Amino acid sequence: MNQRKGSQFAGLAVAIITPFRDGNLDVARLREQIEFQIDAGTNCIVPAGTTGESPTLSHDEHERVIAETIACVAGRVKVMAGTGSNSTAEALRLTRRAAAEGADATLQVAPYYNKPTQEGMYQHFRAIAEDIDIPVCVYNIPGRTGKNIEVETIQRLAELPGITMVKEATGSLDQCSAILGTTDLTVLSGDDSLTLPMMSVGAEGVISVAGNVVPGVMLELVRAAASGDYTTAAALHHRLYAFCSIMLGLSTNPIPVKAAMQMLGRDTGELRLPMVALDDRERAILQETLQKFGIESTVG
């Protein structure tokens, strides 16, 4: 396969959670999460994304999570910093700071809530790509943002040297195929359950939520698909699909992921309002799901 613009970010990237303790950022636990991912073989760590509760981080916390991640990683794997915003000026400020700290790339979510036109989307991403020297991954998740970045807009963005990747979370294999067939961008799945289908048409990996809990199995799937071993990849896909569909179907991400990590003794499970914890029924389902997957929880 021809090398694409962002192929150095192929593989498993994990959008890590942000640990809190007593309402504050838990830096020691953040470092534990990073070491856990590096030990598992994860290729890239993505701090301060939606999974990292970026909407409820203060600006100082947002910058600190990214800086601490880069410092802890110390070049051992790649760091793609979540520095997007629905304000172009704010996205520029966050991205400049992350680049100065040493981020390897930036994850730029489509501007949310204010629903810009396609020309507005183009000008937003162009302003960022032309301002900084690190690669930009455009994050298209209309279920969260309220607006799709259309294929034609992504085709225009692909002509900009700084834009090298798309985190594709439209849920549309057609949109994924159209991007891969008409651009040289690297596509990374933004939905754990669509990783294999998307890789079968040329995507190069995933920015994963479930990887917070089961990075090893996610990595096996990505490696099998990348090597063309679709028999193994399909078996792993179905195993992960059963796990992810139940866990991530319980509540809004990252609520069930943090609950799972609490059960596994890897997080406090603490969230910030307006995110609230799973109820007892949902926790029981999650506990059973972990056990069925073969992960023993340490907390009832």
Annotated binding site for pyruvate: 51, 207
Active site residue 292: no
Of residues 78, 112, 147, 167, which has the active-site annotation? Answer: 167
| Residue 187 CB-half CA count within 13 A | 32
Report which DSSP code applies to 73. H
| Binding-site residue positions | 51, 207
Task: Give rounded-to-5 percent helix, strand, coil for the chain.
Answer: 50, 15, 35
- Return d(Cα 120, Cα 91) in angstroms, integer: 14
Cα separations (Å) of 212 from 28, 37, 121, 261? Answer: 16, 8, 30, 8
Token pair recorded at residue 40: 């598992």
Helix (H) or strand (E) run with residue 216 in it: helix 215-226
CA distance 233 to 225: 6
Q: Are 255 and 51 in contact (CB under 8 A)?
A: no
Let me know if 167 is a catalytic residue: yes
3-state secondary structure of 276: coil
Pairing type for strands 163-168 and 186-189 reads: parallel
Contact 6, 135 (CB under 8 A): yes
Instruction: Give me the catalytic one of 78, 112, 139, 258.
Output: 139
Active-site residue set:
139, 167
